[in-house]
């Protein structure tokens, strides 16, 4: 896909282009919004002049059959927001796309809400994602909300501000100074709350605003070893929180647009979570410097939470009372009941997604696979639970969720408090035809998954935690009739695949048919 | 859609084109195959020379997401069979298409296995099909297996042959002579066994050979008043059956291709069925001469059976022992168990579809409709049972099949032994969001329908008799929050539809949010 042309798709700037200056030397693509209410107001007034495309954007395919090929969601609306904001912002979509292209050739990924390449099965090849317990950096899913800032590490600082006793500005060197802060490495799975969203979309369409952002399948999850310092130590270094502060707000240098306003990416986590040493300020991912697309030079990694709280290109941490009032925290990542939708959704009647629930997926075989086997089929996948709970048991059903088989513990990868476990099982499969395999995980707190997508469908199509299902067409060669048919096709040089291709040969000889009819007493009763 | 060009799509005749003569003066498009084994053999040898397209034909979309728009299944393979057979047959696809175009402008229809226009909701507008108990001729579904013969009624004769005491040749005038045969009119529903096949395809792909023939939704059914004579009287007029004959074979003038062979369309019914006066030789449909596309000048109408037995352009009826060995009877219209498929299907391990089971459909609202209502929603549809059984009760569920509401008998159309009943119900609907409505019918023998598609899925995707389901998005204006949102949108000149279009306005004021948070004690516990 060629990078988008600025002003493509009939975008016309209205009036003299505004200039929003980059905030700091050595920080490309970082516009500071949160410190300047007047600038925010100016941006809102500019955005108000435009009639950005909504109705004809991709979300509408929700009400139509799913596209035959993977749709490219080019994010026209998001690009046009940038084009409207003048020279420093209009280049960001293209620049960001360049970073996406540097990732694994086989890894399709998303670099922002605008540049999403949808693969119905996820952004990385299915089988590849479960090849190793640790996900290689180039294969790790990416979900950004704005363009990718480029920050010179020499010019990098982090402000600790707000309700802390001694606000400080720290350099990267300060944070990496082991005399000040003990270094820490943890294996942590990050997951987009949109993982497996396609399953929800496929049965019931929801809010289009969410769809264009990340219509993921099972691939929006990855497991990495992150190195940095515990945020708790940094807060202690600043004398601790004051005045009843109970949350920490994270500021990302990326620009985030929402309903006609420009913001920086801002989220928060409770102090309680930080105190448990479950929030890392990380500069390394799997022993390498944090890739730019993953937040270089510094990001938070919040263990067991929705990926959205693991703020990238972090430039400020603020002590606050209550959760952040910023839109990503207050107005996004809300989980509704199935009866809430466009007609009645508010921010207060959804609950805020922080801790992630138990979930799992079958990554091999994949949906619609047609398998010739001799009485058993190997399945592979992942299982995860958030909030410090871990997968204890994985069960697979070959009949849609009635009879379950346990994965042997020796066929599950290492246990971590905050990491996924890969699993595999050789499932006995006697039945033929279309079977519905599904998987569920039990975590150490005995949580398990809802059985059907409908059981936990929600308007923004977040957190698809129902049992993951794949349909496979089973052909069991240990059954004589099937063995005979397969042998015949082989002799004739014909393939059983795809199963929907009609057989050109007769299905039975007249002699065999007559014998069978004789044996069953003909089609109709005699009397 | 323009008529297909002969020899289009790179079809190249091989060698000198053969000439298969039309059999009789005044019978255009009728090639007799069954009387001439040598001619059949010659046709098979010609067909063997070609490598007709299979792999890249439409059935493959079964393994992919369903197409975004209604696919036009142009039936290339079927056309090419005709092109290969020389001058008298190569014109048939185009001629047949001309007949299709004469039908109701709003009625999309099928005229043959080659010329199918697929409308996922059926070939006639949904709501229109249940507007009247009797389906107008132009709206009645059509399912043919070959091109449409044009028969001069003056030249028409019907042969009664085989195991009958006195074989006879009868003219149309003989049949219409009320001194010889009492005239009879019956209200009879005909249904393709592929009705609602799309529901089976949508969950599990099956045999592609069936798909290209008739990927119907709920519209492949119609109810008409047929006039003619009872076949029983005609057989009696020929002195009755002899030598243990127990079936009657019907010969249609259309040409039918199957696995490299050419045939006439031949099917059979048991004598037991005929004796019950449930097989009509009909020349009138709803008081008009039989339309050409429906079998002019004479067809059989077999009450309560699959439509396939109601043979059109009937030219011969033969007394036989056991069911017909012709391919339509022996090798088609077989119903398999879900474990039978390409790997093990034979003709003898499917059962032959004759009597139709109980079934029903919701025709309004339609799938994915988004409905603003005040606490109730009107549903309309049809219900039918075959074999002389009739719909006694129709029940509708608004929750996918748990709680059922009965349709009042006064909201059901007239009872017939062999006709459908239309029904409507004003359903109380309290819940909001996506609801799954489904319907089931109980016939007078207490038969009712399987609950889920999977319960009765079969390889050839025949007879979808499971509860018919539609998803609707319910917005209940009698709920204050929904009423307020709808009022707000109206004031702002914004539409709630489509529901997937993101709302550009804020979902809640900051003040309301703060009050709501206060009332719930904030997002997190205090201690």
Kindly state the tokens that stand for B286. 């709803």
Assigned domain for A58 exists: yes
Residues from chain A contacting residue B119 (CB–CB below 8 Å): none
Chain A interface includes B348 (CB < 8 A):
yes
Tell me which of B209 and A117 has the higher pLDDT: B209
Q: Is A77 left (phi over 0), alpha (psi -120 to 50) or beta?
A: alpha
DSSP letter string over B289-314? EPPGGGTTT-EEEETTB-GGGS-SSE
- Distance (Å, rounded) from C-alpha B208 to C-alpha B55? 10
| pLDDT at residue A4 in the model | 44
Tell me which of B289 and B87 has the higher pLDDT: B289
Indicate if the pLDDT at residue B72 is higher than 70: no
Residues from chain A contacting residue B340 (CB–CB below 8 Å): 432-433
B242: CB partners within 8 A, 6+ apart: B163, B164, B165, B319
pLDDT digits (tens, 9 = 90+) for B372-422: 999 999 999 999 999 999 999 999 999 999 999 999 999 999 999 999 999
Nearest to A339 among B206, B431, B485 (CB): B431
Kindly state the tokens that stand for A56. 């004809």
Residue A175, min C-alpha distance to chain B (Å): 30
Assigned domain for B472 exists: yes
Last residue of a domain, one of A311, A327, A352: A352
Question: How confident is chain A (527 residues) per 10-residue block, as mean pLDDT?
Answer: 47 87 95 97 94 62 59 70 90 82 53 34 64 92 89 98 98 98 98 90 84 73 97 98 97 93 97 98 98 96 98 98 97 95 97 97 94 98 97 97 97 98 98 98 98 95 96 97 97 93 91 96 93
Classify A263 as helix, strand or coil.
strand
Angle, helices A92-101 vs A76-84, to 10°: value is 130
Q: B240 and B134, same structural domain? A: yes
Chain A interface includes B508 (CB < 8 A):
yes
Q: A345 and A309, same structural domain? A: yes
CA-based nearest residue in chain B for residue A355: B524
Chain A interface includes B338 (CB < 8 A):
yes
- Distance (Å, rounded) from C-alpha A40 to C-alpha A251? 16
Q: What is the CATH number of the domain that holds A271?
A: 3.90.420.10
CA-based nearest residue in chain A for residue B211: A500
Indicate if the pLDDT at residue B91 is higher than 50: yes
Q: A366 and A347, same structural domain? A: no
Q: A416 and A275, same structural domain? A: no
| pLDDT at residue B397 in the model | 98
pLDDT digits (tens, 9 = 90+) for B121-142: 334 567 788 999 999 998 898 8
Residues from chain A contacting residue B496 (CB–CB below 8 Å): 342-343
- Distance (Å, rounded) from C-alpha A489 to C-alpha A505? 9
- Distance (Å, rounded) from C-alpha A101 to C-alpha A124? 13
Last residue of a domain, one of A431, A457, A476: A476
Chain A interface includes B320 (CB < 8 A):
no
Q: A341 and A364, same structural domain? A: no
Kindly state the tokens that stand for A487. 């042998």
Residue A191: enclosing H or E segment and its boundaries? strand A184-191
Last residue of a domain, one of A316, A332, A352: A352
Q: B258 and B127, same structural domain? A: yes
Nearest to A517 among B348, B485, B517 (CB): B348
Q: B493 and B402, same structural domain? A: yes
Classify B249 as helix, strand or coil.
strand
DSSP B499: T
Q: A331 and A251, same structural domain? A: yes
For chain B, give the percent of residues with pLDDT over 70: 89
- Distance (Å, rounded) from C-alpha A217 to C-alpha A200? 10
8 A C-beta contact, residue A348 and residue A393 = no
8 A C-beta contact, residue A109 and residue A103 = yes
Chain A and chain B share a number of CB contacts under 8 A equal to 212
Assigned domain for A296 exists: yes
Domain of residue B501 covers 355-527
pLDDT digits (tens, 9 = 90+) for B9-62: 567 888 888 999 999 999 999 999 999 999 999 999 999 998 876 655 555 567
* E-assigned strand segments in A421-478: 421-428, 433-443, 468-476
Tell me if A498 and B63 make a contact (CB, 8 A cut-off): yes
Assigned domain for B349 exists: no
CA-based nearest residue in chain B for residue A513: B348
- Distance (Å, rounded) from C-alpha A184 to C-alpha A230? 7
Residues from chain A contacting residue B508 (CB–CB below 8 Å): 346-348
| Angstrom distances, CA of residue B286 to CA of A197, B136, B138, B239, B291 | 51, 8, 11, 31, 10
Nearest to B500 among A207, A368, A400 (CB): A207
Q: B187 and B48, same structural domain? A: yes
| pLDDT at residue A104 in the model | 59
Kindly state the tokens that stand for A397. 């059903």
B2: CB partners within 8 A, 6+ apart: none
Residues from chain A contacting residue B345 (CB–CB below 8 Å): 507
- Distance (Å, rounded) from C-alpha A71 to C-alpha A69? 6
Q: A264 and A164, same structural domain? A: yes
Nearest to B507 among A59, A345, A471 (CB): A345
Chain A interface includes B323 (CB < 8 A):
yes
- Report the number of distinct structural domains present in chain B: 2
Assigned domain for A207 exists: yes
DSSP A335: E
Residues from chain A contacting residue B341 (CB–CB below 8 Å): 432-433, 473, 475, 499
ipTM attached to this prediction: 0.90
Question: Which residues of chain A from 172 to 231 reach within 8 Å of chain B, CB to CB?
Answer: 203-209, 211
8 A C-beta contact, residue B122 and residue B138 = no
CA-based nearest residue in chain B for residue A460: B500
Residues from chain B contacting residue A207 (CB–CB below 8 Å): 500, 502
Indicate if the pLDDT at residue B113 is higher than 60: no
Q: A251 and A151, same structural domain? A: yes
Tell me if B457 and A471 make a contact (CB, 8 A cut-off): no
Assigned domain for B340 exists: no
Indicate if the pLDDT at residue B68 is higher than 80: no
b/e map B201-212, b = 16+ CB within 10 Å? beebbbbbbbbb
Tell me which of B323 and A10 has the higher pLDDT: B323
- Distance (Å, rounded) from C-alpha B44 to C-alpha B261? 5
Confidence band for B211, pLDDT divided at 50, 70 and 90? low
8 A C-beta contact, residue A241 and residue A319 = yes
pLDDT digits (tens, 9 = 90+) for B466-521: 999 999 999 999 999 999 999 999 999 999 999 988 888 999 999 999 999 999 99
Tell me if A338 and B433 make a contact (CB, 8 A cut-off): yes
| pLDDT at residue A209 in the model | 74
| Angstrom distances, CA of residue B2 to CA of B72, B97, B100, B101, B115 | 12, 9, 12, 10, 11
pLDDT digits (tens, 9 = 90+) for A219-261: 889 999 999 999 999 999 999 999 999 999 999 999 999 888 9
| pLDDT at residue A28 in the model | 94
- Distance (Å, rounded) from C-alpha B167 to C-alpha A110? 77
Residue B481: enclosing H or E segment and its boundaries? helix B480-491
Assigned domain for A496 exists: no
Pairing of strands B314-320, B157-162: parallel
Chain A interface includes B504 (CB < 8 A):
yes
- Tokens 């596209």 map to which residue? A67
Q: Is A500 left (phi over 0), alpha (psi -120 to 50) or beta?
A: alpha
DSSP B523: S
Mean pLDDT computed over every residue of chain B: 89
Tell me if A432 and B341 make a contact (CB, 8 A cut-off): yes
Q: A436 and A363, same structural domain? A: yes
8 A C-beta contact, residue A96 and residue A111 = yes
Pseudo-torsion of CA B62, B63, B64, B68, nearest 10°? Answer: 10
- Distance (Å, rounded) from C-alpha A146 to C-alpha A131? 30
Assigned domain for A414 exists: yes
Tell me if A432 and B343 make a contact (CB, 8 A cut-off): yes
Pseudo-torsion of CA A468, B201, A204, A197, nearest 10°? Answer: 40
Q: For chain B, what's the residue count?
A: 527
Q: What is the CATH number of the domain that holds A414?
A: 2.60.40.650
* E-assigned strand segments in B67-197: 72-73, 116-117, 150-151, 157-162, 168-171, 183-191
| Angstrom distances, CA of residue B501 to CA of A41, A210, B203, B373, B513 | 26, 10, 27, 20, 23
Chain B interface includes A95 (CB < 8 A):
no
Chain B interface includes A352 (CB < 8 A):
yes
């Amino acid at each position: 896909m060629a990078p988008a042309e600025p002003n493509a798709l009939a975008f016309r700037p209205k009036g003299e282009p505004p200039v929003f200056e980059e905030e700091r030397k050595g920080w490309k693509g970082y516009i500071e919004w949160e410190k300047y209410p007047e600038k925010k107001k100016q941006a809102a007034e500019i955005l108000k002049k435009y009639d950005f495309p909504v109705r004809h954007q991709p979300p509408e395919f929700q009400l139509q059959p799913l596209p035959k090929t993977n749709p490219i969601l080019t994010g026209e609306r998001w690009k046009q927001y940038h084009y409207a904001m003048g020279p420093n912002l209009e280049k960001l979509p293209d620049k960001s796309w360049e970073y996406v292209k540097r990732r694994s050739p086989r890894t399709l990924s998303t670099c922002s809400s605008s540049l999403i390449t949808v693969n119905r099965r996820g952004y990385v090849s299915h089988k590849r994602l479960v090849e190793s317990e640790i996900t290689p950096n180039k294969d790790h899913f990416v979900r950004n909300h704005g363009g990718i800032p480029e920050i010179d590490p020499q010019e990098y600082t982090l402000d600790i501000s707000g309700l802390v006793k001694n606000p400080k500005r720290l350099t990267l060197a300060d944070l990496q100074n082991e005399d000040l802060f003990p270094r820490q490495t943890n294996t942590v799975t990050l997951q987009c709350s949109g993982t497996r969203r396609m399953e929800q979309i496929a049965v019931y369409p929801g809010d289009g605003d969410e769809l264009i952002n990340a219509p993921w399948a099972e691939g929006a999850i990855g497991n990495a070893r992150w190195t940095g310092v515990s945020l708790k130590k940094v807060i202690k270094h600043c004398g601790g929180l004051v005045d009843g502060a109970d949350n920490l707000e994270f500021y990302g240098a990326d620009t985030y647009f929402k309903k006609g306003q420009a913001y920086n990416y801002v989220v928060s986590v409770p102090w309680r979570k930080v105190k448990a040493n479950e929030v890392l300020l990380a500069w390394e991912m799997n022993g390498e410097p944090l890739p730019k697309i993953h937040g270089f030079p510094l990001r938070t990694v919040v263990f067991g939470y929705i990926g959205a709280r693991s703020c990238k290109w972090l430039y400020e941490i603020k002590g606050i009372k209550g959760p952040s009032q910023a839109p990503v925290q207050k107005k996004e990542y809300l989980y509704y009941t199935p009866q809430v939708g466009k007609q009645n959704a508010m921010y207060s009647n959804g609950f805020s997604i922080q801790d992630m629930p138990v979930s799992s997926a079958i990554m091999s075989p994949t949906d619609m696979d047609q398998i010739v086997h001799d009485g058993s089929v190997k399945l592979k996948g992942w299982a995860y639970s958030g909030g410090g709970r871990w997968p204890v048991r994985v069960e697979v059903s070959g009949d849609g969720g009635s009879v379950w088989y346990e994965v042997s513990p020796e066929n599950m990868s290492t246990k971590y408090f905050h990491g996924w476990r890969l699993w595999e099982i050789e499932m006995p499969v006697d039945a033929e035809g279309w079977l519905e395999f599904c998987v569920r995980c039990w975590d150490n707190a005995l949580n398990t998954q809802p059985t059907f997508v409908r059981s936990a469908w929600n308007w923004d199509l977040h957190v698809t935690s129902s049992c993951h299902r794949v349909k496979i067409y089973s052909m069991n060669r240990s059954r004589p009739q099937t063995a005979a048919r397969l042998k015949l096709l082989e002799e004739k040089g014909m393939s059983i695949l795809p199963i929907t291709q009609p057989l050109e040969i007769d299905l039975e000889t007249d002699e065999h048919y007559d014998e069978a009819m004789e044996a069953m007493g003909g089609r109709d009763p005699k009397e």
